[in-house]
Structure 1
Amino acid sequence: MAGSTTQEPLKSQQKCIAIFALLCCFAVLVALIFSSVNVWGDDEDGITEENCSRNCRIVLVENIPDDLLLPMNGRLHLPLSVGFHTLLDQAKHSVEVVSPVWDLNSWDMETWPNMAKQGQLLFQRLLSLKSRGVKLKIASSLTNSAELRTLADRDAEVRFVNMTVLTRGGLHSSFWIVDRKHIYIGSGDMDWRSLSKRKELGVMVFNCSCLALDLHRVFSFYWQLQDRDYIPSIWSKRVTALYGKDNALELQLNDTQAAAYVSTSPELFCPKDRTRDVDAIHHVIQSAKTFIFISVTDYLPLVSRRFRGTSVTRYWSLIDEVIREAVVLRGVRVRLLISFWRQTNPLTFNFVTSLKSLCLHLHNCSLEVKFFSHKERRDDIQHGLNHNKYMVTDNAAYIGNHDWVGSDFAVNAGVGLVLKMKSSLKDRGVTILEHIKAAFERDWRSHYAKSLQGSKDQESKHRHLQHKAAAA
């Protein structure tokens, strides 16, 4: 009996220790969650999946430099600068911006006085948001931007994402969210060149809070990386994806039934349920039935990384192979329009020659490649540059921030938007896909789009002049 009496206090003490240990573990877990991410995330203004708007208006926006003589074919798309001002006109509460560049005020007004004006006007509009009671929030990887400092002095909230530490890459994302209702995604940056000298393409979607809410979650993810040198392992619900390639948002785009979702890269920047950019591109290519038209500044299926002072380059097949499969196995017609400029990698010609060779001895096989080339000036390497980054097919479109270069998807932050029409081509009217396709065909048929052989001759001449200048 005495032994039994002695064991009871001992068991009670052991239970207390066990309960205390469990409470300590729970406290540590909660502390880890709070330290890794903001559990509650940013306020979403009462917008939920249940009450958000799915009846949306979409507009194609472009910047076409004045000296690019392109036939309009009766279809005038909204100028990019006008689109940005339209978004600011709509703003009542908030404007959230992510851009890889902040250079709206030209450094050389004497050389480009007229071209720089649009950038300056946009910057002044951003500065004036405070006087209207509109909150401006900016996520950026730039630490020494004079323009961001000026905006911060006018009560803009600016947060820094240290991409070098997080992925050893850069921030390529370019998008806007206004009032959690209107969005912009495209190739144009907060750069005066994007509003004047460079050829850009993107889309603006209005009164579409469902899609805006999901893109806002991408913004919130960047926002929570302020001062962090690691990617959290535990995600806040407020940064997880609402839609993806397997559960796309069902919506109306200009009275046409459609589906849409946002993708991101690199993989480290993809929280729960978020589709990777490369998987979104796969999805669009694999769903194409008759044609795939691609317009990018650079196409290079390589990944280059530095390790302990040594650069390592390897073949990156994720997009290259799915294009080959579409052409050879499914008989889909592919056109690839790449920019030819001073930073074009010579290996680009090797890879596209390899792609073109697929159809040498095959019937029902069509893969064409052209290079968009505008006469460059010695003091300005981006004058007339085709900076587009999109793809359109018979039933879908992908508009992104990355060139189709392996290294971009591997380490650089970017965002893409997939749009898919629900009805067949013959059953629908003129949709955003037809507008994007018309823009591609206009560029493809222009005298700036040159065949592979002609571009290779230019490339050889270009390299010779470079070597000659360097020797002098």
Structure 2
Amino acid sequence: MAGPITQEPLKNQQKCIAIFALLCCFAVLVVLIFSSVNIWGDNEDGITEENCSKDCSIKLVENLPDDLYPPTNGGHRLPLSVGLHTLLDQAKHSIEVVSPVWALNPWDPETMPSAAKQGQLLFQKMLRLKSRGVKLKIASSLTSSAELQTLAEHNAEVHFVNMTALTRGGLHSSFWIVDRTHIYIGSADMDWRSLSKRKELGVVVHNCSCLALDLHRVFSFYWQLHQRDYVPSIWSKRVTALYGRHGALDLQLDASQASAYVSTSPELFCARDRTRDIDAIHHVIQSAETFVFISVTDYLPLVSRSFRGTRVTRYWSPIDEVIREAVVLRRIKVHLLISFWAKTHPLTLNFVTSLKSLCMELVNCSLEVRFFTHKDQREDIQYGLNHNKYVVTDNSVYIGNHDWVGSDFTFNAGVGLVVKMKNHLQDRGRATILDHVKAAFERDWMSSYAKNLQVNKDQRGKHRNLQPVDLRVETRKESEWNEPSSL
């Protein structure tokens, strides 16, 4: 009788020990997870929300190809090459760069030495950063770039973001962070064409460590994706957004009161509290009071994806609808400037025609669309191509990396900067960044390159070899449509 009586307490004791061991293992696992997440976060050089600088200066930077405009027609713009060289010269500790393209040296420099000069100079200056003790860190989706290999051999750190595995999209982001203090965001790639042959637009913000700190967190997000084929479900707090649409950074830009924040896309790449690019664009357009001026290379409210071996295309409404709402319901003046080039999709003309028809029977309705095109434009060089990607209103500006194409926002990685002037009426005595961007748009809009283009079927076929898209209307859940496509 004694045996059975003593075995039961032993079993209970063993169960308790097993449960306790499991709880201990779970606790240790949790601690390891969160400690590893904190370790993943990069050192932020002691810059915090409390001690960072909010008294900043901002400069519009553009690249205007030779002979596109008279030299005196630039207004307050700074040449893009000058802006980037200035950032390199100012760097004391670190430069963090994201670019979808690395082609600063042309494929045949002997045939166009003058056009390639700025790209070559920029590349050579990057190679000399090591001798100055400046650390260069690059996040890229390129696996076989000779330029990145050369930079790596000169002490640059390069991390690979596998966009194909992560979203089946591409990396469109283009920005710099210098010493966690100065930043660049814009349309230009690290491509010699961006410094010579293409029209580019962006901004350089100096002495603005608060904004630079937040953009650095986007860079850290990319940095931690190195060689991963999935986006982790748990992230370091150091990639959490500091500012966003509902809590923008209050700052001074050249003595004018303003607010600003950084947005990203696609949604999978939006860390906690980060505003999506599409929401940022909505915010800018919906807050406009009198006008909305948009300049993009391509406008196409469609998302294309592969589904069960076939290519399926659907209407992507967010941007198209917010433009229609602004024009029809709020009587906002909208000007849309789109590039007309070798890769312009034929359906762009259909959507543009649909937008223009909104004002046919309405009083006080103003929506105009023009196409920017240059007679010497060629696909290989893209001379004169309007590569801008921005929207400016009477009180805000959004400058991003994406064209206004549904697939870009859904699958491709991009970054945008929103700046809103708080006292835009009181600031009319001095020019702000809004005035400079608006002046750049009006210069392009009124130029001989901006045309009310009407293209018939014969001209369209002659211009480019594209087939009409098969628009399949299928009843599916929204989550199915949002699955990535192989672009």
Contact 1:327 1:334 in 2 (8 A): yes
1:5 offset after TM fit, Å? Answer: 8.8
> Using the alignment, how far apart are the partners of 2:311 and 2:33 within structure 1?
36
> Using the alignment, how far apart are the partners of 1:451 and 1:44 within structure 2?
50
Per the alignment, residue 434 of structure 1 pairs with 435
1:406 offset after TM fit, Å? Answer: 0.3
Per the alignment, residue 140 of structure 1 pairs with 140
Matched, 1:282 2:282: yes
1:18 offset after TM fit, Å? Answer: 2.5
1:21 offset after TM fit, Å? Answer: 1.6
1:19 offset after TM fit, Å? Answer: 2.1
Matched, 1:22 2:11: no
1:110 offset after TM fit, Å? Answer: 2.5
> Using the alignment, how far apart are the partners of 2:464 and 2:59 within structure 1?
41
> Using the alignment, how far apart are the partners of 2:412 and 2:144 within structure 1?
19
Per the alignment, residue 407 of structure 2 pairs with 407
1:69 offset after TM fit, Å? Answer: 2.4
Give the alignment's TM-score, normalised by structure 2.
0.91
Contact 2:342 2:463 in 1 (8 A): no
User: Mapping of 1:131-210 within 5 angstroms?
Assistant: 131-210=131-210
RMSD: 2.1
1:89 offset after TM fit, Å? Answer: 1.0
Contact 1:70 1:446 in 2 (8 A): no
> Using the alignment, how far apart are the partners of 1:101 and 1:20 within structure 2?
52
1:174 offset after TM fit, Å? Answer: 0.2
> Using the alignment, how far apart are the partners of 1:327 and 1:76 within structure 2?
30
1:111 offset after TM fit, Å? Answer: 2.2
Residues 406-463 of structure 1 deviation map (CA, whole Å, 9 limit, x = unaligned): 000000000000000111324443100000000000000000000143xx25x84252
Per the alignment, residue 421 of structure 2 pairs with 421
Matched, 1:122 2:122: yes
Matched, 1:48 2:48: yes
Segments of 5+ residues of structure 1 without an aligned counterpart are none
Percent identical across equivalent pairs? 73
Q: 1:229 to 1:141 in 2, by over 3 A?
A: same
1:107 offset after TM fit, Å? Answer: 1.0
SS at structure 1 position matched to 2:83: helix
- Report how many aligned residue pairs link the two structures: 463
Q: 1:71 to 1:348 in 2, by over 3 A?
A: farther
SS at structure 2 position matched to 1:376: coil
Per the alignment, residue 396 of structure 1 pairs with 396
Per the alignment, residue 340 of structure 2 pairs with 340
One-letter amino acid of the structure 1 residue matched with residue 161 of structure 2: V
Greater shift, 76-85 or 179-188, is seen at: 76-85
Contact 1:341 1:381 in 2 (8 A): no
One-letter amino acid of the structure 1 residue matched with residue 461 of structure 2: R
1:160 offset after TM fit, Å? Answer: 0.3
Segments of 5+ residues of structure 2 without an aligned counterpart are 467-487
Q: 1:109 to 1:427 in 2, by over 3 A?
A: closer
Per the alignment, residue 272 of structure 2 pairs with 272
Give the alignment's TM-score, normalised by structure 1.
0.94
Contact 1:165 1:229 in 2 (8 A): yes
Q: 1:293 to 1:377 in 2, by over 3 A?
A: closer
1:466 offset after TM fit, Å? Answer: 4.9
Contact 1:70 1:442 in 2 (8 A): no
Per the alignment, residue 112 of structure 1 pairs with 112
> Using the alignment, how far apart are the partners of 1:465 and 1:21 within structure 2?
68
Q: 1:74 to 1:277 in 2, by over 3 A?
A: closer
Q: 1:307 to 1:39 in 2, by over 3 A?
A: farther
Greater shift, 306-315 or 329-338, is seen at: 306-315
Per the alignment, residue 369 of structure 2 pairs with 369
> Using the alignment, how far apart are the partners of 1:107 and 1:274 within structure 2?
39
Q: 1:236 to 1:378 in 2, by over 3 A?
A: closer
Per the alignment, residue 443 of structure 1 pairs with 444
SS at structure 2 position matched to 1:116: helix
Contact 2:342 2:378 in 1 (8 A): no
